[in-house]
Amino acid sequence: MSVLAELEHISKNYGKIKALDDVTLKVRKGEIFTLVGPNGSGKTTLLKILACIERPDSGNVYIHGERVESRNRDRVKLSTTLVFQRTTLFSSSVYDNVAYGLRLREMPKVQIEEDVRNALEMVKLEGYENRLAKKLSGGEQQRISLARALALNTPLLLLDEPTANLDPRSVSVIEEVIRMANRQRDTTILIATHNVFQAERTAGKAALLLDGRIVEMGTVDELLWGRSRNLAKFSRLENIFSGVSEVSGEGISCIRLDGEVVIESALQERGRVTVFVRPEDIIVSRDRFESSARNVFVGRVVGVSGRGSLVRLRVDAGAEFVVQVTRRSFVELGLNVGSRVFLTFKASSVQLV
């Protein structure tokens, strides 16, 4: 396959912060490529540079083999579309939001109508045309943003954490749309995510970005299950629980662990399952508070560790949980070994291993 997009020795600084450090990357035409890394690793900056939104401090960017320069930047930019993690929609209908980019490109009205309809069908929001976009759920809004990008049908689609903090239904739809766009339209897709399991479900090739540098690259299988010590360290899972899951009448799974602990999940799985909850998805408090989250446990801190601005706690709440708080919160809450705390997290935060 030919190379569609290429970064050559790209570096980018924001003041004293080095966002990207000598990054070289090739994305071939027709592939799904996943860029895996933690928050702050430089993923979003890399996508902005490929989308011709940001300019690198040094290095070269190539799209379709053409070097991106001031003279051709606006033209080359039309070959890419970037969908940001934080959805930005207009206070108007779903149709107007999806049609926005097409109208900017002065497409014929009949073509706009057809492209909007096809895009909404792909994200399973057909019939939503006249609804107010900002009145929809977070998952539906993210699907509208994806539909807006799909309507443009650019050769290169860039997705920044496309399913972060979404409900399982929306995650499933978006991942299926990614595979469909690649398969049916031959769209080249670059996904930036911290979710290594999403990389496994969607991509063929992946790179691990840490502290602004690509430290490893290969097939997803090689990075996930092979030789990658760096990825294993970054993606080290905690809060892994096994139990028997039953689906309640409310469409929620109740996962009974060994002992008395029951975790509620939005996965709707039956039988024996293994799940995990990210430490950063668990809220720690000294008192119970009103919340829509379905999982609330009380326990005691049995271990404290940390470096820099983050502190990790081990909490015995019938099962042992690892949670993450800022050092400021740790101090303000007066936490230490032996502290009694409440742990709160949503059913949608529970993910299958």
Query: Tell me: the pLDDT tens digits for 144-193?
Result: 999 999 999 999 999 999 988 777 778 888 999 999 999 999 999 999 99
CA–CA dist 255, 246 (Å, integer): 7
Q: Does 53 have pLDDT greater than 70?
A: yes
- Lowest-pLDDT choice from 32-46, 60-74, 198-212: 198-212
Distance of CA 184 to the CA centre of its chain: 23
CA–CA dist 332, 334 (Å, integer): 5
CA–CA dist 112, 98 (Å, integer): 9
CA–CA dist 146, 133 (Å, integer): 13
Which phi and psi (to 5°) does residue 82 adopt? -115, 125
Query: Tell me: the pLDDT tens digits for 90-135?
Result: 999 999 999 999 999 999 999 999 999 999 999 999 999 999 999 9
Average pLDDT, the chain: 89
Are the beta carbons of 322 and 238 closer than 8 angstroms? yes
Are the beta carbons of 211 and 235 closer than 8 angstroms? no
Report the CATH architecture of 240-352: Beta Barrel (2.40)
Give domain limits for the chain: 3-234, 240-352
Q: Does 340 have pLDDT greater than 80?
A: yes
Residues 6+ apart with CB under 8 A from 32: 178, 179, 182, 188, 189, 191, 202, 203, 204, 205
CA–CA dist 104, 132 (Å, integer): 21
Tell me the CATH class for 3-234. alpha beta
Name 298's bridge partners.
342
pLDDT interval class at 267 (50, 70, 90): confident
For residue 252, count CB atoms less than 10 angstroms from its CB and return exposed for 0-12, middle for 13-18, buried for 19 or more: middle
The pLDDT assigned to 280 comes to 83
Other beta carbons within 10 angstroms of residue 80's beta carbon come to 23
Q: What angle do CA 353, 337, 318 make, to 5 degrees?
A: 45
Which phi and psi (to 5°) does residue 3 adopt? -80, 125
Residue range 61-86: mean pLDDT, rounded? 94
Beta strands in the chain (DSSP E): 3-14, 17-28, 32-36, 58-63, 66-67, 80-83, 156-160, 188-193, 205-210, 213-219, 240-247, 253-257, 262-265, 271-276, 283-285, 295-307, 310-316, 320-326, 340-345, 351-352
Residue range 20-24: mean pLDDT, rounded? 97
The pLDDT assigned to 227 comes to 46
- Tokens for 327? 């050092």
Other beta carbons within 10 angstroms of residue 327's beta carbon come to 13
The pLDDT assigned to 133 comes to 94
CA–CA dist 353, 347 (Å, integer): 15
Residues 6+ apart with CB under 8 A from 331: none
Which stretch of DSSP H or E encloses residue 116?
helix 109-122
Helix ranges restricted to H, 189-313 = 196-202, 220-225, 229-234
Name 156's bridge partners.
80, 188
- Cα of first residue to Cα of last residue in the chain, in angstroms, is 33
